[in-house]
Every structure is written in C-alpha cells, then in structure tokens.
C-alpha cells in the first residue's frame, strides 16, 4: 500500500457510520488496500498522473463550519428540490425539505436500509474502479432517491456540492444512489462547484443508478470548479428492460479531474444517450472515461463528447464500447471531437470497440482539429474581427451540444458562463433571444 | 468605386490572374463571365481578402483606398461584400448571432451605436421576408442544413442587412432553380440605387436576363479579353466561350 492509500484508509476510522453500512465499508477498505497503485503502465490511468493526489499528506475530513462560500456560488435557477452539501456534508439549513422517496442514508428507516444495502456498491465494480473502492470504504452518508413503480419525482432534484477553501488536504466524499422502479421517472442534476478562492481539497464522488424496466432518468453532472481542486468521480448505471438514460455532463476546472461513466445495458430494449463537454484551460487536467457494456440484444447507445483544450491544459477521452456475444442487434455510436486552441494544449482520445456479436451496428470516431479556416474567413468577410470570429466558432463548437440539453434552465445557466471562457468577445455569443 | 489595374494574383503558388483591369463606377453593374478555370472565383476571393489568395502585382483601389492593404474584416466594414459561391455551414453559431455581430461590427466601424436586440430582430425578420426566408432561419446555425437556394438567399439577406457599397456576387446563380434565381435577382435589383455598384460573376448568361448589367466582361486566362454591353452576354450564350479563347490564342 502506498502512503496515500494508507492515510486515506485511516480517514475511515474517524467516521461514525451506522453498523448496517459496515459490510460495504469493510469490503471497500479491503479492495482499496489490495489495489496496486496506478502507474504509467496502468492503462486506465496512462495519460494522467495521480502525483498531485499523492502529494496530499495529513488527509483530513473537510468541514461545513463555514458555509458562506455557498452564497458566492450561482445556482441553476429552476423549480427543483434543492439539496446542498458543503465539503461533502449535508447542509439542512440551505436545503429544501426532502420529498417522499428522497432520504439521507443516515436517516434511512428499516425499509430503506435494505434497499440501500441491496444496491449501494453493487452497480459499481469496485475491483475495477479504484476510487469507488475508496468511496465504499468511506460510506457514512449520502442520498437515496427512490421512485416507486409508475411514479414520477414531482420536481427535478438539484444537488449542489460546494467545495470551500480549507487547509490543504481537506477531503469530501459524496454518494448518491438512484433507484427507479418499473415505469418511473426522475430528473437529477448534480452540480459540483467551488467558490473563486484557491481550493486544495480532494473530492471523491460516486453516483450509482438503477433504472428499472421502462423507467427513465434524465441526469446531469455539471463540474464547474476552480483551478486547484482534485476531483475523482463516477456515474455507474444499470439499465434494465426498455430503460432510458439521458445524460449530460460538463467539466471545467481542477488540476486533476477524472470522471468515469459506466453504463450497463442489462435489459433488452434499453437506450442511453450521453453528451459531454470538457473545457480545460490553464494547467487543468480533465479525464473522461466512458464504458458502455452491451450485455443483451436490441439496445442502443449514443455518446457525443466534445472538448476545447486551451493554454497548457490536458484532456483525456477514453470511450469504450463492449458488445457481448449475446448482444445482437446492438446499435452503438460514439463521437469525440476536440479543438485545440493553443500549441501547448494536449488531448489524448481513444475510442475502444470490443465487438463479440456479429449482427450489430457500431460507429465511432474521434477528431482533433484547430478552428476551421474557411469558417473563420466567412465570418471575417462579414466584418467580424478575427478575435470575435474565434470566440463565436469556439463557442459554437460546444453550443451544438448545449442546444440539445432538454432542461432549458441548464442551457440558460451554462451558456453565458461558458461563453465567457472564450475571451472578451463573449458578449457576442449566447445572449440573443428570439422572442 | 472600384478600380482594378493590371492585377496579377496567385493561389497556392499557381498564377491565376494575369493582368486583369476593370473600372467600376458608382451605380454600375458589371458582369464578369468566363469559362471554368478562367479566374472568376479567384478574383472575388482576392478582392475580399481570403487567406491563401495573394495579389502579386497591380493595384486595386476601393473608394479611393488601397484595398490590398486592408484586412478581410476591414474591407467588409468599409462596404465590400462578397456573396459566396459556396456559403459556409457553421453549426452551433446561430444565424442571428452571426448577423448581429456583422452588423454591429460595421456600425462600430462607422461610429454608430449597436442596435438593440429588439430592433435588430425586427430588422432581421423584415429582411428575411424580402428574400422569402422564414424567420425561423434566424434561430438555426449559420447555413446549417440549408438547401442550396436557401444558402444563396441567406447571402442576399446578409447583403441587404450590411448595405454594402460594392457587392460581388460569385456565381450566386449556379445551381439555382428559376424561382430562387428570381428571388435573388429581385433582391439585387431592389438594392440598385444609383450609387451601389455590383460585380456579378457568373458562368451563365441566364442570370443576366434578371440582373441587367451595364457592362459585360469576358475573363479568360486570367485577364479580360473582351468587354461590351449586355449584348455580349447573348453573343457568348450563342457561340460559347470557345471562339474567344481561340481569338486570344
């Protein structure tokens, strides 16, 4: 075990978790201890270094003693149930009342505990996902979203996770479990934010989702964090027969951000769509790994990821599609396009297809390019300055995906914030309305 | 308005224009016709300042200024407009944002204040109507998924919004059906006001049935080999370009 593994494990001893969570914690601790620390030859971590994490010594739990940072975080304006976490700790004062079906693990009753035990740590494969093992070892609290058969969560659930400036090595662990019974529906928005001050913390966040037959989840994971935060997270989803998962994810900020999406197509007729945008700049590092397991026939998956990498930033996109021998008539698509806006920016993109069935349709592609010169010329030939044209084209590259975001409030929230990343001409883009 | 004198130009090390001269006075419509490969599109691209298209000798004066010394966007702001032969599709950038940015850039250049979004939208909608484009096109990405005719009408709409002094139409008629051609021609004719000048580059005489030129020039081998009035276009239509090329040779 490395020093970091050791000291992360010791943190678990400082928690006071309920006994019914102990088996998962112990299993997590065992997986974490047994794992060999990733190095350059570890395929899943090949392009990024975990050194910034290892340099964190004297790990300690972040606190929510000062929650004033929440005030400076602008929230998405929508009619939703809002849950606020500060450094991984639930902040009741700033949260809405929990609706039926939404409960903290620590408040789970005798009926809910078995439900959590049944699914928590079971959707994710913690032997393959190092930080999921750590998250299991650290399970103390979290949120369960349970929607019974043929019901719909009344309002979207908006979970705001705020990291505040603390002394170095402050740790936050976040956990979400969504269980949708047959025919049910929910919309869940996870928003990770930090205020503008220097961050040195480490956030480990894990979301597990079980979508029952014919149920549907609209899920957002928005990571708009400041420069120095370290963030490792995952969204792991089981889709049963005719289930639907519609996801959107966005990442900006952090000197090390790694997000895994694991979609397990377990029931026939299941369908998933995932759009993602990453915008690292300065010296940020953002790594998305997606993995779609097509285990059964007649499922469809469609992933579109786009990145703009600037300055000396680095991005990784690894999109794997695994079509099992039984999964005939699978339709799987994956597209990853990247725009590099500086000579020192770096992208490592790798689509991976493993197909063991013979009657499937699978398309994948990855591109890396600079801005299209003809488009630039076209804009300039209409009097638009080179700087404005560059801004418009860069923003347009990701705006195509923003336009597809079903929740208008999220479009309205993200558009001006993202356009402002593209330079001073940002007032040019994203603000015009038509009505 | 525009004086081109003994212009030589190249594209990617290939000499295309070889001593081209034209003088366009305010309010005049000049048609430039010529076979494929004669340098028609190169002329438009050099005049608008497309990267990769380089004038190697000669001079171009636009409204008394040295056009070749001006940047691409500066030419546009000063009132030069090129309607593209192949308008570019830019998904993700809405037509509306694009048009407003263009109009704002020109107004700023001429020390006028920006139009408010409301005023601009009103103007844009009216202009759409003039070229028979549905206002919903404003919301869509620039030329994204537009048909050939819609793209060309979008070019004319931009021209109307920007109110240039010199309009260069680069084979705007190519690939258009007659109805679309009429809409485009009506748009152009509506903009003829006695001061605005037009350089209409075309391969086909048909366009000139709708936009009546004051002068017709034949471009072959990178220079003007014959000039005349509109009857020259009809002569070309009847005889083809072959006889001129022979004459030059």
Would you say residue A106 has pLDDT above 80?
yes
Average pLDDT for residues A418-435, to the nearest whole number? 56
How far from A219 is each of A26, A412, B200, CA to CA, in Å? 30, 17, 53
State the average pLDDT for chain B: 92
Q: Mark which residues 16-45 of B lie under 8 Å from A by CB.
A: none
* Residue keyed to tokens 């010329």: A377
Predicted confidence at residue A391, as pLDDT, reads: 87
Window 390-409 of A, Cβ < 8 Å to B: 392-393, 395-400, 403
* Smallest Cα distance from A423 to chain B, Å: 15
Q: Which residues on chain B are in Cβ contact (under 8 Å) with A397?
A: 92
- Strand ranges in A297-381 using DSSP code E only, listed in sequence order: 300-309, 314-323, 331-340, 346-355, 361-369
Q: Of the candidates A320, A309, A326, which has an alpha carbon nearest to the alpha carbon of residue A370? A: A309
Contact residues, chain B, for A379 at CB < 8 Å: 90, 98, 101-102
Contact A230/A202 with Cβ under 8 angstroms? yes
Least confident of A23-27, A336-340, B165-169, B234-238: B234-238
- Which of A381, A386, A392 is closest, CB to CB, to B101? A392
Beta strand segments in A195-309, E:
202-211, 216-224, 230-239, 244-252, 256-265, 271-278, 285-294, 300-309
Q: Is B241 on the interface with A (CB under 8 A)?
A: no
Q: Per the structure block, which two tokens stand in for B149?
A: 């005719």
For residue range A2-50, what is the model confidence (pLDDT) as tens digits? 999 999 999 999 999 999 999 999 999 999 999 999 988 888 898 998 9
Closest residue in B to A425 (Cα) is B101
- In which band, very low, low, confident or very high, does the pLDDT at A257 lie, cut at 50, 70 and 90? very high
Most B-contacting residue of A304, A378, A397 (CB-CB within 10 A), to test interface: A378
Q: What letter does residue A431 receive in the DSSP assignment?
A: -
> For the CA atoms of B136, B142, B143, B146, what is the dihedral angle to 10 degrees?
-30
Please give the Cα distance from A305 to A302 (Å, whole number): 10
* Residue A94 · residue A67 · CB < 8 Å: yes
Range A238-253 average pLDDT: 97
d(CA A329, CA B248) in angstroms, rounded, equals 65
E strand segments, A68-164 = 81-86, 89-90, 102-104, 143-147, 157-163
Query: Which residue on chain B is closest to A392 by alpha carbon?
Result: B93
Asked if A399 lies within 8 A of B77 by C-beta distance, the reply is no
A203 interface with B at CB cutoff 8 Å: no
Give the span between the Cα atoms of B219 and B106, in whole angstroms.
32
Burial (CB count <10 Å: 0-12, 13-18, 19+), residue A130 = buried
Contact A414, A222 (CB under 8 A): yes
The DSSP H or E segment spanning B178 is helix B178-190
Q: pLDDT category, A65, cuts 50, 70, 90?
A: confident
Residue A4, both tokens:
């970091």
Cα–Cα–Cα angle for A227, A80, A124, nearest 5°? 60
Would you give the distance in Å from CA A395 to the centre of its chain?
A: 21
Chain B closest CA to A403's CA: distance in Å? Answer: 8
Contacts of A396 in chain B (CB under 8 A): 90-93, 141
Tell me the average pLDDT across A64-77. 88
Which residue is closest to B51 within chain A, CA to CA?
Answer: A377
Report CB contact under 8 Å: A375, B105: no
Assigned token pair, A371 = 């801005």
Tokens representing B155?
A: 């070019």
Domain that holds residue A387: 3-424
Q: What pLDDT was estimated at residue A133? A: 97
Residue B72 has, within 13 A of its CA and on its CB side, a CA count of 25
Q: In what order do the strands lie in the sheet with A361-369?
A: A89-90, A81-86, A157-163, A185-194, A216-224, A244-252, A271-278, A300-309, A331-340, A361-369
What local confidence, expressed as pLDDT, does residue A1 receive? 87
- Pairing outcome for strands B141-142 and A230-239: unpaired
Tell me the C-alpha distance between B42 and A293, whole Å.
53
On chain A, the residues whose CB falls within 8 A of the CB of B138 are 434
Judge whether residue A170 has pLDDT over 90.
no
Give me the phi and psi of B121, to 5 degrees please: -60, -40
| Residue A414 in contact with partner chain B when CB distance is under 8 A | no
Taking residues A239-267, what's their average pLDDT? 96
Distance CA A403, CA A401 (A): 5
Q: Tokens 């000669």 map to which residue?
A: B58
Tell me if chain B has a CB within 8 Å of the CB of A274. Answer: no
| CATH code for the part of the protein at B2-246 | 3.40.50.300
Question: Does A195 map to a domain?
Answer: yes
DSSP letters spanning A164-188: ---STTEEEEEEEEEEE-TT-EEEE
Q: Which residues of A touch B97 (CB under 8 A)?
A: 392, 428-430, 432
Nearest CA in chain B to A372: B90
Supply the pLDDT for residue B248: 56
- Position A410 in a domain: yes
Question: Is residue A430 very low, low, confident or very high in pLDDT (cuts 50, 70, 90)?
Answer: very low
Whether A109 contacts chain B with CB within 8 A: no
Average pLDDT over residues A381-393: 92
* Residue A414 in domain: yes
- B174 or A171, greater pLDDT: A171
- Over residues A326-335, the mean pLDDT reads 97
A31 alpha-carbon distance from chain centroid: 22
> Buried (b) or exposed (e) across B116-137, using 16+ Cβ within 10 A?
eeeebbebbeebbebbbbeeeb
Cross-strand partners of B3: B23, B61
Question: Which pLDDT value is given to residue A431?
Answer: 46
- Kind and range of the H or E element at B155? helix B148-162
pLDDT of residue A435: 38
Structure tokens belonging to residue A9: 């494990």
Instruction: Name the residue among B75, B97, B109 with its Cβ closest to that of A392.
Output: B97
Average pLDDT over residues A118-144: 96
% of chain A beyond a pLDDT of 90 = 77
Among the listed residues A220, A219, A278, the one whose alpha carbon sits nearest the alpha carbon of residue A254? A278
- With respect to residue A435, please indicate whether it lies within any of the assigned structural domains: no
* Lowest-confidence region among A76-85, A288-297, A317-326, A412-421: A412-421
Residue ranges in A123-272 assigned as alpha helix (H):
130-137
3-state secondary structure of A246: strand
Sequence-distant (≥ 6) Cβ neighbours of residue B122 within 8 angstroms: none
Identify any residues that bridge with A222 across adjacent strands, giving them in sequence order: A191, A250
Of the two residues A58 and A280, the one the predictor is more confident about is A280
Q: What is the pLDDT of residues B15-64, one digit of tens each?
A: 999 999 999 999 999 999 988 888 999 999 999 999 999 999 999 999 99
Is residue B50 less than 8 Å (CB to CB) from chain A?
A: yes
Helix%, strand%, coil% for chain B, nearest 5: 40, 30, 30
Among A395, A414, A396, A429, CA closest to A189: A414
Contact A381 B88 (CB under 8 A): no
> Do residues A350 and A291 lie in contact, with contact meaning Cβ atoms separated by under 8 Å?
no
Identify all chain B residues contacting A390, using CB atoms and an 8 Å cutoff: none
pTM here? Answer: 0.86
Residue A76 vs residue A54, higher pLDDT = A76
Dist. CA A102–CA A147, nearest whole Å: 8
Q: Is residue A35 part of a domain?
A: yes
Q: State mean pLDDT over B128-138.
A: 92
Percent of chain A with pLDDT over 70: 96
- Residue A432 is predicted with a pLDDT of 47
Are A239 and A245 in contact by the 8 Å Cβ rule? The answer is yes
Contacts of B13 (CB under 8 A, 6+ apart): none
Q: What integer pLDDT is reported at residue B246 of this predicted model? A: 64
Region A244-251: mean pLDDT is 98
- List, in sequence order, every residue forming a beta bridge with A348; answer none if it has no partner: A316
The ipTM estimated for the assembled molecules is 0.94
Residue A429 domain-assigned (yes or no): no
Residue B168 corresponds to which tokens in the numbers above? 């260069």
Over residues A184-217, the pLDDT tens digits come to 999 999 999 987 666 678 999 999 999 999 999 9
Q: How far is CA B99 from each of CA A429, B68, B73, B103, B150, rounded to the nearest angstrom?
A: 12, 25, 14, 6, 16
Probe site for chain A from B105, B139, B166 (most A CB atoms < 10 A): B105
- If pLDDT is split at 50, 70 and 90, which confidence band does A153 have? very high
- Domains of chain A: total: 1
Question: How many whole angstroms from its chain centre is CA A320?
Answer: 16
Would you give the DSSP letter of residue A54? H
Instruction: Give the DSSP H or E segment for B102.
Output: helix B95-109
List chain B residues with CB under 8 Å of A378: 84, 87-88, 90, 142
Give Cβ neighbours of residue A247 (< 8 Å, ≥ 6 apart): A219, A220, A221, A235, A261, A272, A273, A274, A275
Q: Is A380 within 8 Å of chain B by CB?
A: yes
The tokens describing B124, both together, are 């844009």
In 3D space, the residue among A168, A175, A176, A164 whose CA is nearest the CA of residue A225 turns out to be A164
Cα distance between residue A17 and residue A27, in whole Å: 14
pLDDT grade for A271, boundaries at 50, 70 and 90 = very high
The C-alpha torsion from A103 through A107 and A112 to A116, rounded to 10°, is 80
Confidence check: pLDDT of A428 > 60: no
Using CB atoms, which residue from A382, A433, A434 is nearest to B76?
A: A382
Residue in chain A lying closest to B47 (CA)? A381
Distance from CA of B127 to the nearest CA of A (A): 15
Average pLDDT over residues A344-353: 94
């Amino acid at each position: 075990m490395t020093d970091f593994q050791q000291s992360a494990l010791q943190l678990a001893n400082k928690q006071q978790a309920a006994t019914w969570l102990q088996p998962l914690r112990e299993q997590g601790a065992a997986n974490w201890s047994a794992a060999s620390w990733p190095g350059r030859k570890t395929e899943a971590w090949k392009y990024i270094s975990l050194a910034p994490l290892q340099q964190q010594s004297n790990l300690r739990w972040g606190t929510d003693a000062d929650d004033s940072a929440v005030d400076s975080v602008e929230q998405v304006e929508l009619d939703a149930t809002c849950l606020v976490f500060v450094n991984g700790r639930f902040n009741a004062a700033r949260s809405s009342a929990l609706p039926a079906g939404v409960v903290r693990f620590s408040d789970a009753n005798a009926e809910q505990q078995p439900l959590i035990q049944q699914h928590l740590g079971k959707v994710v494969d913690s032997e393959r996902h190092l930080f999921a093992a750590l998250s299991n070892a650290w399970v103390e609290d979290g949120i369960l979203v349970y929607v019974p058969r043929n019901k719909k969560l009344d309002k979207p659930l908006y979970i705001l996770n705020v990291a505040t400036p603390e002394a170095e090595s402050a740790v936050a662990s976040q956990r979400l479990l969504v269980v949708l019974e047959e025919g049910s529906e929910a919309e869940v928005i996870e928003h990770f934010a930090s205020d503008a001050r220097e961050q040195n913390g480490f956030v480990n966040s894990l979301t597990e989702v079980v979508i029952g037959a014919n149920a549907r989840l609209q899920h957002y994971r928005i990571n708009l964090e400041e420069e120095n935060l370290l963030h490792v997270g995952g969204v792991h989803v089981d889709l049963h027969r005719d289930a639907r998962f519609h996801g959107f994810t966005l990442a900006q900020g952090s000197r090390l951000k790694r997000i895994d999406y694991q979609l397990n197509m377990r029931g026939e007729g299941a369908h998933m769509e995932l759009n993602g945008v990453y915008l690292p700049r300065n010296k940020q590092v953002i790594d998305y790994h997606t993995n779609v397991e097509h285990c059964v026939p007649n499922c469809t998956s469609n992933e579109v990821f786009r990145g703009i990498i600037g300055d000396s930033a680095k991005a990784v996109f690894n999109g794997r599609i695994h079509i099992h021998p039984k999964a005939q008539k699978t339709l799987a698509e994956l597209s990853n396009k990247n725009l590099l806006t500086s000579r020192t920016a770096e992208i490592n993109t790798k689509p991976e297809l493993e197909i063991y069935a013979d009657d499937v349709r699978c398309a994948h592609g990855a591109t890396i390019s600079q801005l299209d010169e003809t488009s630039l010329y076209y804009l300039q030939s209409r009097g638009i300055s080179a700087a404005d044209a560059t801004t418009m084209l860069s923003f347009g590259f990701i705006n195509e995906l923003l336009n597809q975001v079903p929740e208008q409030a999220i479009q309205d929230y993200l558009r001006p914030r993202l356009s402002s990343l593209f330079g001073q001409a940002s007032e040019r883009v994203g603000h015009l309305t038509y009505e | 308005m525009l004086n081109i004198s003994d212009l030589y130009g190249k594209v990617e090390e290939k000499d295309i224009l070889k001593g081209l001269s034209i003088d366009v006075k305010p309010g005049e419509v000049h048609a430039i016709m010529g076979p494929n490969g004669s340098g028609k599109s190169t002329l438009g691209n050099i005049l608008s300042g497309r990267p990769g298209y380089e004038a190697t000798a000669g001079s171009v004066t636009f409204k008394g200024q040295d056009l070749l010394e001006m940047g691409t966007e500066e030419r546009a702001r000063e009132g030069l407009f090129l309607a593209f032969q192949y308008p570019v599709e830019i998904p993700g950038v809405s037509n509306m944002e694009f048009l407003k940015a263009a109009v704002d850039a020109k107004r700023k250049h001429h020390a006028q204040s920006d139009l408010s979004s409301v005023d601009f939208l009103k103007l844009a909608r009216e202009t759409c109507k003039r070229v028979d484009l549905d206002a919903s096109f404003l919301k869509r990405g620039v030329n994204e998924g537009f048909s050939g005719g819609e793209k060309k009408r979008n070019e004319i709409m931009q021209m109307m919004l920007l109110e240039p002094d010199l309009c260069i139409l680069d084979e705007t008629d190519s690939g258009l059906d007659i109805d679309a051609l009429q809409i485009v021609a009506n748009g152009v004719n509506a903009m003829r006001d006695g001061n605005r000048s037009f350089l209409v580059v075309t391969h086909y005489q048909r366009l000139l049935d709708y936009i009546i030129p004051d002068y017709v020039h034949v471009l072959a081998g990178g220079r003007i080999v014959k000039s005349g009035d509109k009857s020259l276009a009809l002569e070309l239509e009847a005889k083809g370009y072959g006889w001129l090329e022979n004459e030059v040779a």
